[in-house]
Structure 1
Amino acid sequence: MSAPVLFIHGLWLHARSWDGWVERFRSAGYADCSAPGWPGDPETVEEARAHPDAIADHGIDDVVAHFASVIADLPEKPILVGHSFGGMIAQRLLGEDLAAAAIAIDAAQIKGVLPLPLSALKATLPVFKNPANRHRAVSLTAEQFRFAFGNAIPAEESDELFERWTIPAPGKPLFEAAAANFNPHSPAKVDTHNSGRGPLLLIMGGQDHTVPEAVTKATLKQYRHSEAVTDILEFEDRAHSLTIDHGWTDVADACLDWLKKQGL
């Protein structure tokens, strides 16, 4: 019997954007797969766009506690697959020994990661341009999405993904991550020293504007004092849309291959 698999989305994407992954993992033998939304996430993209206040003002700790409660109802520790801020959440849960393994895809920076490339600043400017956005849900325009997510795919595909999957996102996690290295009790702090945790795979897109490869490489260095398995994999020609664009199956299959090598 395989472990349950939980998929954790990041900012601006609805949980249903994992639908293809859920089916692919089930076909590979992982019978218990699910993609719960963040706290306040409605069931559909349309509802999320219509009711942004339900999503607003949820921070990193809120999301971690939410998924910890989901995990508590499972028969055993799950495998976590997270994208962007979902990748950060997955690392926190793994470091707290709540998961059997974690795959963090283009994961948002954790405390201790110092590189802050200009493209990442531009990608998150829609949130940071107004301090009041800390307590609001913020939407992207199609053009902003194209820069932050769809810069390595045709503009037409980026616009289609924008229409299909994007929802407003709480600004609070971005403000928390930005201040992480100045806050000793930051919610973006991950237990990177835990040698008893399950294996971790970090995946990076070489063309990612939102989480450039320098951020993921710096994240890997944070785990240098842990004896647990910590692997890294790069898709050189991919950007932040790599979990939802036309090449997502390559990424999903690489995750399945890695899990097989871990005996999971």
Structure 2
Amino acid sequence: MPTVIFIHGLWLHATSWQPWQDYFTAEGYDTLAPGWPGDPGTVAEARANPESIADHGIDDVVAHYAALISTLNEKPILIGHSFGGMIAQKLLGQDLADAAVAIDAAQIKGVLPLPLSALRATLPVFKNPANRHRAVSLTAEQFRFAFGNAVPEEESQELFDQWTIPAPGKPLFEAAAANFDPHSPAKVDTANELRGPLLLITGGKDHTVPEAVTRATLKQYRHSEAVTDILDFPDRGHSLTIDHGWREVAGASLSWLRSQGR
């Protein structure tokens, strides 16, 4: 079986994928969950050294994972959350992956909807233009709105305490300007006919990447005959990969991969 590489998004440490790694390993897959460039090995180290994470943009992250993929014997399966979902789509479009699952994936170039909840969720970064070159942390209250709105408040606090780290502001600024930049790093080769299959997963209660964004992303793939599917979890928010219901999302991802012969 191919290796499954898990790609985290903003504000979550790579170790937040550990339950998914255990689940997929038990199903016979090799798994990797590398951090973004500059990510320290632990949540505590990341919080103590935010400058190591700062100023890494989308192209830096794509190159980082592409270099890792180049060391493997075969194309991996990619499972990415939030900005990790965008990165997974870019790598799939570049024919560097066998298949990809993009969960509540960040907005790619060409996607126009910008719901108010998404603006509020990212306001901690956009309120200061200097944050483009900084790492920005969320407060527990901000995390509650952006990630934990569909789980009990106590669980949201626990997830915040366990997994959150500072995040580089640069990818958000790049994504926000994508539709005005002909060379935007948020551009994905959605017309690639030869790429592997892609599953887009959306949480119906997601404030950070609302369902309208994911459905608009699906439309970007309309010119490709390659498999592009969508799966909706109506009662889930942006924390769906780490909260108490993660196994349902992981199981659905695995079932879809197997339906594609992966």
Query: TM (normalized to structure 1)?
Result: 0.99
Shift of 1:103: 0.3
1:133-188 deviation digits (Å, cap 9, x = unpaired): 00000000000000000000000000000000000000000000000000000000
Residue 38 of structure 2 corresponds to which residue in structure 1? Answer: 40
SS in 2 for 1:10: coil
Residue 29 of structure 1 corresponds to which residue in structure 2? Answer: 28
1:215-261 deviation digits (Å, cap 9, x = unpaired): 00000000000000000000000000000000000000000000010
Tell me the amino acid that sits aligned with residue 95 of structure 1.
Answer: G
Matched, 1:4 2:3: yes
SS in 2 for 1:231: strand
Measured in 1, the distance between the counterparts of 2:237 and 2:229 equals 19
SS in 2 for 1:226: coil
Measured in 2, the distance between the counterparts of 1:203 and 1:250 equals 12
Residue 75 of structure 1 corresponds to which residue in structure 2? Answer: 73
Measured in 1, the distance between the counterparts of 2:71 and 2:219 equals 33
SS in 2 for 1:104: strand
Tell me the amino acid that sits aligned with residue 257 of structure 1.
Answer: S
Count of residues in correspondence between the two structures = 262
Measured in 2, the distance between the counterparts of 1:100 and 1:260 equals 13
Residue 20 of structure 1 corresponds to which residue in structure 2? Answer: 19
Residue 214 of structure 2 corresponds to which residue in structure 1? Answer: 216
Measured in 1, the distance between the counterparts of 2:73 and 2:34 equals 16
Gaps of 5+ in 2: none
SS in 1 for 2:112: coil
Shift of 1:29: 1.2
SS in 1 for 2:254: helix
Tell me the amino acid that sits aligned with residue 238 of structure 1.
Answer: R
Equivalent of 2:62, from 61, 64, 69?
64
Residue 252 of structure 1 corresponds to which residue in structure 2? Answer: 250
Shift of 1:120: 0.1
Please tell me the root mean square deviation across aligned C-alpha atoms, in Å. 0.2
Residue 194 of structure 1 corresponds to which residue in structure 2? Answer: 192
SS in 2 for 1:251: helix
Tell me the amino acid that sits aligned with residue 185 of structure 1.
Answer: H
Measured in 1, the distance between the counterparts of 2:170 and 2:58 equals 8
Residue 142 of structure 1 corresponds to which residue in structure 2? Answer: 140
Measured in 2, the distance between the counterparts of 1:74 and 1:123 equals 36
Gaps of 5+ in 1: none
Measured in 2, the distance between the counterparts of 1:235 and 1:225 equals 26
Measured in 1, the distance between the counterparts of 2:55 and 2:44 equals 20
Measured in 2, the distance between the counterparts of 1:251 and 1:211 equals 16
SS in 1 for 2:199: strand
Measured in 1, the distance between the counterparts of 2:249 and 2:67 equals 28
